[in-house]
Amino acid sequence: MIKIYDTMTRSLRDFIPLEEGKVKMYVCGPTVYNYIHIGNARSTVAFDTIRRYFEYRGYEVNYISNFTDVDDKIIKTANEAGISTKELSDKFIAAFMEDTAKLGVKPATKNPRVINYMDEIIAFVATLVDKGFAYESQGDVYFRVEKSENYAKLANKTLSDLEIGASGRTDDETARKENPVDFALWKSAKDGEVSWDSPWGAGRPGWHIECSVMATEILGDTIDIHGGGADLEFPHHTNEIAQSEAKTGKTFANYWMHNGFVNVDNEKMSKSLGNFVTVHDMLQTVDGQVIRFFLATQQYRKPVNFTEKALHDAEVNLKYLKNAYQQPVQETVDSDDFETFKSQFVAAMDDDFNTANGITVLFDLAKWINSGHYTAIIKEAFAEMLAVFGIIFEEGEQDVLDEDIEALIAERQEARANKDFARADAIRDQLAEQGIKLLDTKDGVRWTRD
């Protein structure tokens, strides 16, 4: 049985879906005002891997990941560029789809955009006002945090601690609130900002309300899994829970999952440190599968340290798996050991999607394959395991090259039989120049690519 570390309970829990054989999964997506950075990619890749593993285990996954296309940063960037917020968002949504496709990320079942759910957002906020969980103040609408049961439990915080921390605030917005920790559901329009009409005047949604609305509209009042980066535990996911459960009276999500951060050379990534790395730029010089494989080398909850050496190691290790996958198949082999590898792979991934241990199993399997244990059935099963990590090796051109290699090996064997060792050595050297290593075994000649 799959076990998930649930942030809400701080414990490893058996995964029991709302509906047998199906998973309702919502993952917070990017704010689309720029190309995604390697930290965004970590979250995207981590939850794509989790989704893929659920599918590997036979689940049908309804995977929803949003685009935040109404936001202060979007408005500011669009104004500076002299274009509309929609034009800016459209550009970077297209870039996101293109860049993540190169990382082997499957398209979501649906990628909802905030601007397409404005009527539903306004209705959601109005319901909270009607139920007394929210109030209007000078065109803004705020959520009454003190009415939320166990507020901030997800982030392991208490309301009293938050109130003490906010007690010294003196800004204009705080003056409009009943309580300094209350958060915005609707913001009144300012000059030069995109806005929508509402019962409280022209304005736009607060950040937190959008995900609650899109998740419940698409997946229902209660979902199986809600995920995102660890930085979203508070306040974003905390506020999602408060407003969603206030409206519906039901548990918003049964499991909360959060991925770890990405450091760059052991330092937190930030523009001020000059170590801000966008995926779009990286893809100009690095294969997307290598970036993806690097991000998968650590279990999703642990931090990942991005270095040139780590990226190089990922490239070498990925090539090793590719070489094993492209080994020529045999008619029959003893497959008992292969079933053991499959069981080990499932055990590793069932344990809160431990990709590091899962990849270790793949390397052990590759070594076993390279020693001569490979059939078409094993190759297909190996491909299914690799696909969990977004690794899909193309056939086609490589198959023709394989045939050339096999022909050269046969010629070398014939030369050796005729004691033409000079020709045999020349063929070995020719193959070595192409990165092909020959292994003389009791079962014949095996070969691998460097």
Helices 38-56/288-296 angle, 10° precision: 80
Maximum Cα interatomic distance, the chain, rounded to a whole number of Å: 95
Map out the domains of the chain with their CATH numbers: 3-259 (3.40.50.620), 279-387 (1.20.120.640), 397-449 (no CATH)
Q: How many whole angstroms separate alpha carbon 165 and alpha carbon 181?
A: 9
Better-scored residue on pLDDT, 425 or 115: 115
pLDDT over threshold 80, residue 166:
no
**Of residues 173 and 294, more confidently modeled:** 294
pLDDT, mean over the chain: 91
**Residue 101 to residue 312: CA distance in whole angstroms:** 21
pLDDT higher than 50, residue 336: yes
Strand-pair partners of 135: 142
pLDDT above 70 coverage of the chain, percent:
94
> At 443, is the pLDDT very low, low, confident or very high (cuts 50, 70, 90)?
low
Question: Tens of pLDDT along 382-411?
Answer: 999 999 999 988 764 445 466 778 888 888
pTM of the entire predicted model: 0.86
Q: What tokens does 365 get?
A: 């399997």
C-alpha span between 165 and 436 (Å, rounded)? 63
**H or E segment at 14?**
strand 11-14
CB 73 within 8 Å of CB 32: no
pLDDT single digits (tens) 262-310? 888 877 766 666 667 889 999 999 999 999 999 998 999 999 998 899 9
